[in-house]
Amino acid sequence: MRLALAQINTTVGDLDGNARLIVERAREARRAGADLVIFPELCITGYPPLDLLENSSLVEGAAATLDFVAREVPADVGVIVGCPVPNPDPVGKRLQNVAILLEGGREIGRAVKALLPTYDVFDEYRYFEPGPHRSVVEFRGLRLGLHVCEDMWNNEEQAPYHLYRANPVDELAALGIDLFVNISASPFSVGKHAVRNRVVREICLEHGVPFVLVNQVGANTEVVFDGDSRVHAEDGTTLRCAPSFEEALIYWDIDSRTADPEPFRSGVAQLHDALVLGIRDYFGKTGAFSKALVGLSGGIDSAVTCALAVAALGPERVEGVTMPSAFSSEGSVTDSVALSEALGIVIRRIDIEPAVDAFDRMLAPAFTGTEFGVAEENIQARVRGTTLMAVSNKFDHLILTTGNKSELSVGYATLYGDMSGGLAVLADVFKTQVYELAWHVNERAGRIVIPENTINKPPSAELRPDQKDSDSLPPYDVLDDILERYVERQQDFAHIVADTDHPESLVLRVLDMVDRSEYKRRQAPPGLRVSPKAFGMGRRVPIVMRWTRRRVASENRVDP
């Protein structure tokens, strides 16, 4: 028997487009001799559909689309698709997340997702009722342990904590199966490839059963999916592995044990390709913008953002704007021009000094007797934001904001200024990673794309004379270590101090800056998620709160 793994890029809510994609791939696979074609989780609706699932017309449309797929795929091939279906029980959530096996124009088997994640970007129990029982799905004499995404992630025997009481993998194995089949919409984060590989391998070794995983590829708003669909033998060996970050149709003859080598991708290469895919799909799936617009400061964040946009869209669909002020260095313009020439994009120069001067004169009576400070600095950032928005409105361009995760973490960004835009490309990328991306862009191109001066000069917002980021922030390698521990690993004050050499006062200051800046992040554009814990839909912290951080003293007393 020949299986086809259809790693496809679906769009949330595009029932007709998703159906066409499914039918086309099923027909292509049948022509290649496939007997069974396997598609990702919720491929009928796209993932994640979120509150669209509360719209009855979407659910009814999904049912009609499922019927269309059953009729239109070749009658002599089996197809496994993911679809939301009504819960047959009058008690519980209205829907279930289901993997459905179709053949000959009708359903011949199904598996209801049992484990419904409610952490990070997931909120599935908001919509779905879990499947209470596991059962074998048979296809032409093959006993399939069919399950959906999260159902495989509770199996790590050595894990110190398990989220769920049930273990669908163990339950399916106990029923006597020939093959595990998992359909997934498993989001990307740097290093997820290795984690996924390890989990599947451990399942195979534990139960002595081959494993097929088909994962969604593509990006839907913030969430990026890398694909990484795979087949493992009963001893855990990787037999087939689809390329990451692109659609693919790969085949496996179930008697074959010829192994594919695991492809190696460095962390920075994964990061680069995930961000490029996120930009490309945001533009392609919204279909609302003719070009990307990037404010170019001569700094590394805007340069990397612009290079990623060109990789995603092509130089003809990216424009830069340089907006010098009285405090801009010569390099802010010359480095921006050098970048635009290397990338082959159009760049506009719009001097903002007249607008800044006008604001200064207008505010002078109100600011009489005060010293030049943050308010005046931010006028420049907000004039730049207004300028970019004007160009965006005029020409239907989408502004890509350039702030990185380090800046967003500690509030080193200006509301209605550099935070103005439609998509925050680097919002989940720490400053130290931005430097890695810059070198990677140049290495990948085999030439200097991002000027070395941009990479080597001290970072600065250039909002006052001789300003440097280090005036307000610790060195980025120190800052990013603290932030990675607090934001991504959820370590708190005492653990960070105990595990590092960072001074207590510095750790406390940084963590307090993160907490105080939540109100800014709530007003930021959506950012592409590329880490295990990104700001946005995956991190929910209250803005208004009276919780303050204090170290518990040795006598277990909390200081007042």
- Which pLDDT belongs to residue 127? 97
- pLDDT band at residue 551, thresholds of 50, 70 and 90? very low
Contact 332, 462 (CB under 8 A): yes
- CATH classification (class only), 2-253: alpha beta
- Which pLDDT belongs to residue 370? 94
Of 133-137, 234-238, 401-405, 550-554, give the lowest mean pLDDT range: 550-554
The total number of residues written for the chain in this structure: 560
Across-strand partners of 215? Answer: 184
Describe the strand order of the beta sheet including 230-232 as a list of residue ranges: 137-139, 142-148, 179-184, 211-215, 230-232, 238-241
pLDDT digits (tens, 9 = 90+) for 10-66: 999 999 999 999 999 999 999 999 999 999 999 999 999 999 999 999 999 999 999
pLDDT digits (tens, 9 = 90+) for 153-182: 998 776 778 899 999 999 999 999 999 999
- Which pLDDT belongs to residue 198? 94
Task: Determine the residue type at 496.
Answer: I
Q: Which of 103, 113, 124, 484 is catalytic?
A: 113
Mean pLDDT of the region 511-529: 95
Q: Which of 41, 124, 407, 462 is catalytic?
A: 41
Cα–Cα separations (whole angstroms), residue 489 to 201, 267, 428: 25, 18, 14
Nearest to 530 by CA among 228, 199, 246, 272: 272
| In the predicted structure, residue 321 carries a pLDDT above the cut 90 | yes
| In the predicted structure, residue 554 carries a pLDDT above the cut 80 | no
- pLDDT band at residue 462, thresholds of 50, 70 and 90? low
- Which pLDDT belongs to residue 469? 73
- pLDDT band at residue 461, thresholds of 50, 70 and 90? low
- Which pLDDT belongs to residue 558? 39
- Which pLDDT belongs to residue 463? 66
Mean pLDDT of the region 84-102: 97
Q: Which fold has domain 271-469?
A: Rossmann fold (3.40.50)
Tell me the C-alpha distance between 147 and 80, whole Å: 11
| In the predicted structure, residue 555 carries a pLDDT above the cut 50 | no
- Which pLDDT belongs to residue 464? 63
What is the maximum span of the chain, computed from C-alpha positions, in angstroms? 86
Mean pLDDT of the chain: 94
- Which pLDDT belongs to residue 471? 73
- pLDDT band at residue 330, thresholds of 50, 70 and 90? confident
- pLDDT band at residue 545, thresholds of 50, 70 and 90? confident
Tell me the C-alpha distance between 219 and 80, whole Å: 22
State whether residue 488 is helix, strand or coil: helix
Mean pLDDT of the region 299-317: 97
Catalytic annotation on 41?
yes
Q: Which of 83, 124, 129, 149 is catalytic?
A: 149
Tell me the C-alpha distance between 455 and 127, whole Å: 46
- Which pLDDT belongs to residue 260? 85
Cα 245–Cα 119–Cα 97 angle in degrees, nearest 5: 70
| In the predicted structure, residue 192 carries a pLDDT above the cut 80 | yes
Cα 378–Cα 382–Cα 386 angle in degrees, nearest 5: 170
pLDDT digits (tens, 9 = 90+) for 242-294: 999 999 999 999 999 999 888 888 999 999 999 999 999 999 999 999 999 99
Contacts of 513 (CB under 8 A, 6+ apart): 409, 410, 411
| In the predicted structure, residue 481 carries a pLDDT above the cut 60 | yes
Catalytic annotation on 149?
yes
In the chain, CATH 3.40.50.620 sits at 271-469
| In the predicted structure, residue 557 carries a pLDDT above the cut 60 | no
Contact 469, 463 (CB under 8 A): no
In this prediction, what percent of the chain has a pLDDT beyond 70?
96
- pLDDT band at residue 546, thresholds of 50, 70 and 90? confident
Burial class (CB in 10 A: 0-12, 13-18, 19+), 38: buried
Tell me the C-alpha distance between 549 and 90, whole Å: 46
In the chain, CATH 3.60.110.10 sits at 2-253
- Which pLDDT belongs to residue 281? 98
**pTM of the predicted structure, to 2 decimals:** 0.94
